[in-house]
Amino acid sequence: MKTTRQRAILSLIATRPVHSQEELASLLEAQGYEVTQATVSRDVKELGLVKVPLKSGTGAAQQFKYVEPSITTNFSSRLHRVIAELVVHVVGAVNQIVLRTPPGGAMMVASAIDAAEWPEIIGTIGGDDTVLVLLASTDDLPVVVQRFEDLRAEAQSA
Amino acid sequence: MKTTRQRAILSLIATRPVHSQEELASLLEAQGYEVTQATVSRDVKELGLVKVPLKSGTGAAQQFKYVEPSITTNFSSRLHRVIAELVVHVVGAVNQIVLRTPPGGAMMVASAIDAAEWPEIIGTIGGDDTVLVLLASTDDLPVVVQRFEDLRAEAQSA
DNA sequence: TTGCATACTGTATAATTATGCACGATATGC
DNA sequence: GCATATCGTGCATAATTATACAGTATGCAA
């Protein structure tokens, strides 16, 4: 039955890395669900699962992870979402603000800030886990730092 | 240059639906970045982008969305993450608890609860946006409801 | 029962993505 | 300078995923 099979899929991917739908089909077969890759593909789509790159080196393995539906629908603005989910730390000095993110997150944060086009900001530079935000004036520092903190605060727990 | 091109990719996918890496390559070309699908594939991997199914109907379009790196690394337990992100509402009665989720999220929540194997819980049923949790005893109701609320509370803002 | 609609699936194949290999550019050490 | 190493890339193709189509099963109304 479709529902139980899909639940089995969720259980499987929560347990171990799965690298392809063929592999998933094999694992399901071992549990008594005999289905083809085609069906697995449909299940994966219905469950909203996505294949995420595990590490960026060549030859890196992949596994399935699910993207919770809420991620794509809940947050109102991209900037808000990105800051809330990716910014770990905020600190400012003179006319500069440094934002820390998990590894690999900096470019997304920088991109989102650019897109927001805040007038106080004259530019951003995103590295791997650090974003440098340059302000037009030293006077803007406390206001903008506070704004970042506020965006961040709404999801501080995770 | 690789970095600016990758930032352009982030900007593109934030702006409009992109259905394939070929399409992304075309859009980049329009901005002066001439690259092949192969390079886009590598960029997508490095940025941690994933292709998410947009709707489940046949012939449904897809687009790129990024999975924030934090999603795969931050939360400690699957149950915690799933409850925090997916459970919208909790209500209990007698020996039953009903959890509401965004559409499509119920099965994941049910699966995660099953995997956690809480002793008070004798079973779960996941529909589309509703999970029914059955408890062994009426006495367990307030305790378990509170536990769900606590898990949820840590991310209530989103 | 018959006819029709819906749901689920497999087969075959199209579409898409990932990657081995080679090459050119740039940097590093001798 | 020259050898060597690293990085980014394209090309060709392998690997993986999505889907058009057809078949089976089920439910329901006439």
Residues 100-129 of A with CB under 7 A from strand C: none
How many Å apart are A28 CA and D29 C1'? 38
Which among A5, A9, A140, A3 has a CA at the least distance from the CA of A65? A9
Angstrom distance, B156 CA to C15 C1': 41
For B49-108, write each residue's pLDDT tens digit: 888 776 544 344 566 777 655 544 444 466 777 787 788 889 888 888 999 887 777 888
In the prediction, which pLDDT does B125 show?
83
- A2-70 has which CATH code? 1.10.10.10
Closest residue in chain A to residue B152, using alpha carbons only: A157
CB proximity list for A29: less than 8 A, separation 6 or greater: A35
Summary mean pLDDT of chain B? 78
Domains A2-70 and A75-153 share a fold: no
Footprint of strand D on the protein (CB under 7 A): A 19-22, 37-38, 41-42, 44-45, 51; B 1-2, 5, 34-39, 42-43, 51, 53, 58-60, 62
pLDDT tens digits, A82-104: 887 788 889 889 999 999 887 77
- Minimal Cα distance from B6: which residue of A? A107
| Predicted-complex ipTM score | 0.72
Tell me which chain A residue has its CA closest to the CA of residue B49: A52
Nearest protein residue to the C1' atom of C13, measured from CA: A38
CB of residue B2 closer than 7 A to nucleic acid strand C? no
Fold of B2-71: Arc Repressor Mutant, subunit A (1.10.10)
Cα separation values, B10 from A107, B67, B92, Å:
8, 12, 43
Strand C near-CB residues (< 7 Å), B 97-156:
none
- Specify the pLDDT at position A62: 61
Task: State percent of chain B over pLDDT 70.
Answer: 82
Whether pLDDT at A55 is above 70:
no
Q: Give CA angle at B138 (B125, B101), nearest 5°.
A: 35
> Using the beta-carbon criterion (under 8 Å), do A112 and B50 form an inter-chain contact?
no
Please tell me which of the candidates B47, B72, B111 has its beta carbon nearest to residue A10.
B111
Domain B75-153 belongs to what topology?
A: Gyrase A; domain 2 (3.30.1360)
Q: What is the pLDDT of residues A103-147, one digit of tens each?
A: 778 888 888 888 788 888 898 888 778 888 989 889 889 889 988
Integer-rounded Cα Rg, in Å, for chain A is 21
Mean pLDDT of A27-39: 91
Domain boundaries, chain B: 2-71, 75-153
Q: Is the CB of A47 under 7 A from strand C?
A: no
> pLDDT at residue A154 above 80?
no
Task: Give residue A24's pLDDT band: very low, low, confident or very high (50, 70, 90).
Answer: very high
The tokens for B4 are 């600016």
DSSP at B140: G
Among B45, B107, B111, beta carbon nearest to A56: B45
